[in-house]
Amino acid sequence: MKSETATPAAHFRVQLSSTRRGARLARLLVERQLDDWGLAPADPTSAALVAITAEFAANAITHGRSPGRDFAVRLLRSTDRIRVEVSDTRPNTLPAMPSAPPPEHAVTGRGLLLVDAFADQWGHEARDPYVKAVWAEVSRCARRDPDEGGSPSPSTARRPLSASSVV
């Protein structure tokens, strides 16, 4: 009997309740999926994507929530980058970068600054009159054999990831 190896899926999607529990679950499921794809939680690419997911999910349940409507998380991967998308049901509430850093004592207002720091690129798009998606792309770091010396070099490609470019 011949054993076949399945090729891991190039995408992941989950729909979750627009609650704090749903936002926490989004972060945990993304971390688990990235681990299944070979990116350990300690990997810088994985850590960045999990932090971005946490911010987007928190924003979805805080600013993008419609009573009785869920939000969705989707991951798409290509050979050189991974895209995370969080969609919610409030296309009229768009994320905006703060014009200035929040005051030192403020407890909110830093999330999109973190997304901007971690992501190679990010943005939002209206899917239809009822749904918007906020997305970010992070390059997968090129790995070098530690015996060869040198440090890992990140990919320099900056093209957006589309459904046709996933592996």
- Is residue 165's pLDDT more than 50? no
Q: Rounded CA gap, 147 and 163, in Å?
A: 36
Q: Is residue 52 part of a domain?
A: yes
pLDDT of residue 11: 92
Give domain status of residue 112, yes or no.
yes
Task: Tell me the per-residue pLDDT of 29-67, one tens digit each, with 9 for 90 and over.
Answer: 999 999 999 999 999 999 999 999 999 999 999 887 777
DSSP-based three-state secondary structure for 111:
helix
Does residue 24 lie within any of the structural domains?
yes
User: pLDDT, tens digit, for every residue of 106-153?
Assistant: 777 788 999 999 999 999 998 888 899 999 999 987 443 334 444 333
Q: What is the mean pLDDT of the chain?
A: 81
Q: Does 102 fall in a domain?
A: no
For position 38, which CATH number holds? 3.30.565.10
Q: What is the pTM of this model?
A: 0.77
Beta strands in the chain (DSSP E): 11-16, 71-77, 81-88, 121-128, 131-139
Looking at the 3D structure of the chain, how many domains does it have?
A: 1
Range of the domain at 133: 11-94+108-143
Round to whole Å and give the CA distance between 64 and 58: 9
